[in-house]
Amino acid sequence: MRAAVLHAPGEVRVEEIDDPEIIEPTDAVIRLTATCVCGSDLWPYRGVESVDGPVPMGHEYVGVVEEVGDQVRTVKPGQFVVGSFVASDGTCEICRAGYPSSCVHRVFMSQIGTQSERARIPWADGTLVATPDLPDLDLVPSLLAASDVLGTGWFGAVAAEAGPGRTVAVVGDGAVGLLAVLAAGRLGAERIIAMSRHEARQKLAADFGATDIVTERGDEGVARIKELTGGLGAHSVVEAVGTQESMQQAIGSARAGGHVGFVGVSHDVALSGEDLFFSQVHLHGGPAPVRRFLPELIDLIWQRKIDPGRVFDLSLPLDQAAEAYRAMDERRAVKALLSV
Ligand SMILES: [Zn+2]
């Protein structure tokens, strides 16, 4: 089958690799309908994370089940499925507590790669959710978004305790940040402040429910959030970048007693214990437990109540994966969909 393979920083090639097979009786093999490039794929692409030899890329996916192992009960061949970017058994104590992305048997799908024609999905029962029927073609981007960026933005908003009567600030205007805006709106937030200096992204944030846009960053961004919130800071802040500056901006923007949901994959962030102590904020984050939210998110998409697929502003065939990476690396695209 064809798959996008990273050979060295900046070098993605679509080439033939072995077809996946059922290895464990709890596996499924799916034929991808669509996949995409994630902001986190850019870390190894840019050489920030080291690359060890040629590695198949990708961890977001939707598609049709082709084959299941003997012990798979909840999905069957022919069904259209959405799965999390982390495979989880769905039965361990951590999964049952709502944290399947830290399942004791978890498998990060990035270790398998889903920018490909087919993929093996471990723990199919715990990982995959079937849609009610085969989806209309125009729903595919939104269902694909649920696999990671929507689920991650949603978790960011939940972890930040976005809800009625609360002011939510979102640091980061990538797909996750934009969908955290959407999530905060669905969760009933009263005011949603998107931090962005990019016009097209500001517009999408407004369409997703942002009531205010802040273009300043760093200390100036924090000062602006304080100014908009009577000097107190936001009740809820979603951090969707993962850098030192964005974490400091997020914590600094939250009021005492407020909540920060941090879902940007952290790279070289070092926080001052003293600053944390005096910030008096709740911190909750990490790899999003997307599987927890999938049934609800699929339902909202199926009923056309949300349209998260709008974050895809570039759509290319899998064969042009290299261009998809370049476009995202150069910030010409918010998020690139690859049709298979
Ligand atoms: Zn588990």
128 and 163 in a single domain? The answer is no
239 and 294 in a single domain? The answer is no
134 and 197 in a single domain? The answer is no
β-pair partners for 73? none
Alpha carbon of 152 to ligand 1 centroid (Å): 18
Alpha carbon of 88 to ligand 1 centroid (Å): 5
Give the predicted TM-score (pTM) of the model.
0.96
CATH of the domain at 226: 3.40.50.720
Average pLDDT over residues 89-101: 98
Alpha carbon of 5 to ligand 1 centroid (Å): 29
β-pair partners for 37? 336
175 and 109 in a single domain? The answer is no
Average pLDDT over residues 4-19: 96
**Could you report the per-residue pLDDT of 24-50, keeping only the tens digit for each?**
999 999 999 999 999 889 989 999 888
Return the pLDDT at 198: 94
The pLDDT confidence band at residue 254, using thresholds 50, 70 and 90, is very high
Return the pLDDT at 152: 98
Alpha carbon of 90 to ligand 1 centroid (Å): 5
Decide if 33 contacts 136 (C-beta within 8 A): no
- Which of 285, 303, 320 is where one domain is finished? 285
**Could you report the per-residue pLDDT of 151-178, keeping only the tens digit for each?**
999 999 999 999 999 999 999 999 999 9
Helix (H, G, I), strand (E, B) or coil at 154: helix
Neighbours of 53 (CB within 10 A): 8
**Could you report the per-residue pLDDT of 123-134, keeping only the tens digit for each?**
999 999 999 999
Distance, CA of 118 to CA of 259 (rounded, Å): 40
Return the pLDDT at 50: 83
**Could you report the per-residue pLDDT of 267-288, keeping only the tens digit for each?**
889 999 999 999 999 999 999 9
Alpha carbon of 200 to ligand 1 centroid (Å): 39
**Which residues contact residue 125 at a Cβ distance below 8 angstroms, ignoring those fewer than 6 apart?**
26, 71, 72, 73, 74, 75, 89, 90
- Which of 265, 285, 305 is where one domain is finished? 285
195 and 160 in a single domain? The answer is yes
141 and 157 in a single domain? The answer is no
The pLDDT confidence band at residue 51, using thresholds 50, 70 and 90, is confident
**Residue-averaged pLDDT of the chain:** 97
**Could you report the per-residue pLDDT of 320-334, keeping only the tens digit for each?**
999 999 999 999 999
6 and 144 in a single domain? The answer is yes
171's tokens:
């640091």
Alpha carbon of 59 to ligand 1 centroid (Å): 18
Angle between helices 199-207 and 175-186 (to 10 degrees): 20
Question: What is the extent of the structural domain holding 109?
Answer: 2-148+289-339
Whether residue 73 has pLDDT greater than 90: yes
- Which of 257, 285, 313 is where one domain is finished? 285
Return the pLDDT at 53: 77
- Nearest of 16, 87, 10 to residue 44 by alpha carbon: 10
23 and 44 in a single domain? The answer is yes
Alpha carbon of 222 to ligand 1 centroid (Å): 38
160 and 228 in a single domain? The answer is yes
Burial class (CB in 10 A: 0-12, 13-18, 19+), 54: middle
Alpha carbon of 109 to ligand 1 centroid (Å): 15
Average pLDDT over residues 81-95: 98
Return the pLDDT at 52: 79
- Domain total of the chain: 2
Chain centroid, CA 117 distance in Å? 21
Whether residue 192 has pLDDT greater than 90: yes
